[in-house]
Chain A
């Protein structure tokens, strides 16, 4: 098991290498002079020359890559072109809101979707089941920003229950303000994943309920509720965990939109601003970060399988 984890972590090295190469080439191979691209439409020739010098673009490409990689390995992601701040500093500043929003979203999604899906599978064909399925279809269909604005309008503006926008840190502003501010973004972001995971849970639990060992449990005189909890749900877990993992990976896209709608100063906003301003070092840094997180999540999912299913051993 430890050997497996070690092997997997070792295997991330070449993957991250390929990502790094891609990220490096992204700027160098884009059409035109990268310095001119970075300098923008109104730059003078001197500006461009200065940028080229700063970025080391006059050197051979292999030398450039080696230098860049060397910096990367020391944790230096470069300097943002517009703010002149190190990319690592910018990311560090924005990390907290995004991480916490992702966390609350995962917790909320799992807490709602799995019981909902299980209930639907158990009462298959009933009104509950149809309700869950209807919610799923709706959840898939409503765009994140539409849902966000509807929620703001109803809960914040009309009912005045929750703040409209903004972010409060649980560490500096306290837990209660944090929760009040994070609630709407969390719901907004969760809906599509609840729809996805509830459906997956329903399908998975329904399949498990056909299994012989469920019949065995009933033959023991076990109550239906416990049959569901002790025997069905855990056996249904592996495909559900897979989807949760994929969902987290896909969450990034939703985070960008959600953070814009609710004006949360997180990584999503940083991505958006960097793309709009073509701030390449930031974009590069974020791609590397997200790739790394993605690989890490995949490893965690694979390890989670062994927790749920003793037959899976690495």
Chain B
């Protein structure tokens, strides 16, 4: 197993670790009999879907789990030979930051918003060293330079909200590496980042790990990321290790059906063949659509942001247009303007020939059911206090359907999205993430829309569930002959479902065309950059054929 680490003992060795869940959970153990090692200078990816126990494992090693709820009952976690489970809280505090450090998924929330970033990095040195303030500052600047942050002398005094997501994650990494720990635990460190930023951060982690000889335990759900960074891979499912081996072995010759299924679910970057839709009038169109934020107030100098600039788009019945771009590209702004959740500054939005861009709220009401949206987070887009049925029938009843008719429609839609009509009486929390997204789709369809907007509708889902929901979206598009606007940051997903693709950057459309054509020969440099940054592009994942 540990072929690269014969000279040194492993940095981390987890042996037969079991952690119990609190009573009343759906299973007894959060993790059960988990064993793996992380060698010096090695990146070990722990892969699994939500609920696989990968984060609990990491936090057990760090001693960050609430032991009341999650109790380690068996096994050892050896950090350079010392069993962490036997340490007192005070001893663990001594080790955290010094010998093991951790970076987290959300750089937006993992940093204290009211503390200067330099002070947050410096805190690490304050806790664990006897350095003076001036020395600390010098060292902080040094580690910030080490993670390739620009203008470090100024940035050291800025607050987290003044930095971009990628910069914040670099701050987190700088903080973790300030004391040169032997073990770095990275818990989905790039999941919340844009793909080009993700590529840079992955590069940085690889680079630092080589330079400092750090052992990295890298937790992720994304096989693309695994293909980019892993030396070895540990696959977890339902709290257990199902397969582990070198990256080469696991990715190219997976033994277990679960691993095969996970790898198979990763959407390919190669779009499947689709017949271009050229017939029929566009049902949704936007012309010269603009959205400008920020006007000057009484005392002038208001910052003006062009969130969407001169956007042109057309979608026909039965067609899916993908809008791809990174955060801040304006893709969501366009969607919101089309639904009139926000008012466009200028331009036209035509739904079946009627311009709704400047329509009054009262006149707009009649058109509301024509365009429906499925949002990103299925945990927050359903009202937790209402039954699923109540949520689905509310819209149709607003448009004059009787409750009985609306419920009948809701029932048949539940069957269409693959759930049972009997489930209408249940509450959202009784469903999984994927099921909830199905419910959101049913709710949108209940309005009998002409246009369906999917705003990052599959981004929060596990990869196996994602494939199913994508298929469902494609099915309902065909079945109801919908025009679909599919907004995503994920180029793999876009490749699989979109007839045409529109690439946005900083509020502007930089490229538009048939999906296959854009992927095969991108015309704009930004499109090329995006395609190149998609993780795992050059590895195993492209060897299988699309879908």
- Interface bits B114-143 vs A (CB < 8 Å: 1, else 0): 110000000110011000000000000000
Q: How far is the CB of A1 from chain B (nearest CB, A)?
A: 11
Judge if B34 is at the interface, Cβ distance under 8 Å: no
- Interface bits A207-218 vs B (CB < 8 Å: 1, else 0): 000011101111
Interchain CA distance A219-B124 in the complex, whole Å: 10
Majority-rule SS of A interface residues? helix
Judge if A168 is at the interface, Cβ distance under 8 Å: no
Set of chain B residues within 8 Å of A311, measured between Cβ atoms: 113-114, 159, 161
Which residues of chain A from 167 to 221 have a CB within 8 Å of any chain B CB?
A: 211-213, 215-221
Residue of A nearest to B125 (CB): A220
- Stretch from B41-49, B98-106, B201-209, B448-456 forming part of the interface with A: B98-106
Residue of A nearest to B159 (CB): A310
Pick from B111, B112, B113, B115 the residue with the most CB of A within 10 Å: B112
Pick from B64, B95, B115 the residue with the most CB of A within 10 Å: B115
Do A212 and B64 form a contact, CB below 8 Å, given A218-B96, A235-B114? no
Residue of A nearest to B62 (CB): A219
Q: How far is the CB of B110 from chain A (nearest CB, A)?
A: 4
- The listed residue (B114, B127, B161) touching A221 by CB distance below 8 A is B127
- The listed residue (A7, A218, A221, A308) touching B128 by CB distance below 8 A is A221
Do A213 and B110 form a contact, CB below 8 Å, given A221-B98, A223-B93, A311-B159? yes
Do A221 and B94 form a contact, CB below 8 Å, given A212-B110, A215-B110, A310-B159? yes
Set of chain A residues within 8 Å of B110, measured between Cβ atoms: 212-213, 215-216
Set of chain A residues within 8 Å of B175, measured between Cβ atoms: 216, 220
- Interface bits B254-279 vs A (CB < 8 Å: 1, else 0): 00000000000000000000000000
Which residues of chain A from 254 to 271 have a CB within 8 Å of any chain B CB?
A: none
Do A220 and B97 form a contact, CB below 8 Å, given A213-B110, A235-B113, A310-B161? yes
The answer to whether B112 touches A235 (Cβ under 8 A) is yes
The answer to whether B114 touches A234 (Cβ under 8 A) is yes
Count, chain A residues at interface, CB 8 A: 22
The answer to whether B112 touches A220 (Cβ under 8 A) is no
Q: How far is the CB of B338 from chain A (nearest CB, A)?
A: 30
Judge if A231 is at the interface, Cβ distance under 8 Å: yes
The answer to whether B102 touches A219 (Cβ under 8 A) is yes
Interchain CA distance A310-B64 in the complex, whole Å: 28
- The listed residue (A3, A7, A216, A234) touching B104 by CB distance below 8 A is A216
Interchain CA distance A230-B127 in the complex, whole Å: 12
Pick from A3, A222, A231, A235 the residue with the most CB of B within 10 Å: A222
Interchain CA distance A311-B113 in the complex, whole Å: 8
The answer to whether B114 touches A308 (Cβ under 8 A) is yes
Interchain CA distance A3-B92 in the complex, whole Å: 50
- Interface bits A222-237 vs B (CB < 8 Å: 1, else 0): 1100000011001100
The answer to whether A212 touches B124 (Cβ under 8 A) is no
The answer to whether B101 touches A7 (Cβ under 8 A) is no
- The listed residue (A217, A222, A309) touching B113 by CB distance below 8 A is A309
Q: How far is the CB of A114 from chain B (nearest CB, A)?
A: 16
Which residues of chain A from 297 to 314 have a CB within 8 Å of any chain B CB?
A: 308-311
The answer to whether A216 touches B111 (Cβ under 8 A) is yes
The answer to whether B64 touches A219 (Cβ under 8 A) is yes
Set of chain B residues within 8 Å of A223, measured between Cβ atoms: 93, 127
Q: How far is the CB of A222 from chain B (nearest CB, A)?
A: 6
Q: Which A residues have a C-beta under 8 Å from some C-beta of B? A: 3, 7, 211-213, 215-223, 230-231, 234-235, 308-311
Please name the 5 residue pairs, one residue from A and one from B, whose CB atoms are nearest each other, closest first.
A221-B96, A212-B109, A221-B97, A213-B112, A3-B299
Can you list 21 A-B contacts with CB-CB less than 8 angstroms, sorted by A residue number? A3-B299, A7-B298, A213-B109, A213-B110, A215-B64, A215-B104, A216-B175, A217-B112, A219-B97, A219-B102, A221-B92, A221-B95, A221-B97, A221-B128, A230-B115, A231-B112, A234-B115, A309-B113, A310-B113, A310-B161, A311-B113
Q: A216-B104, A219-B97, A222-B123 are in contact. List 7 more A-B contacts (CB 8 A).
A: A213-B112, A215-B64, A216-B111, A218-B96, A221-B96, A310-B161, A311-B159
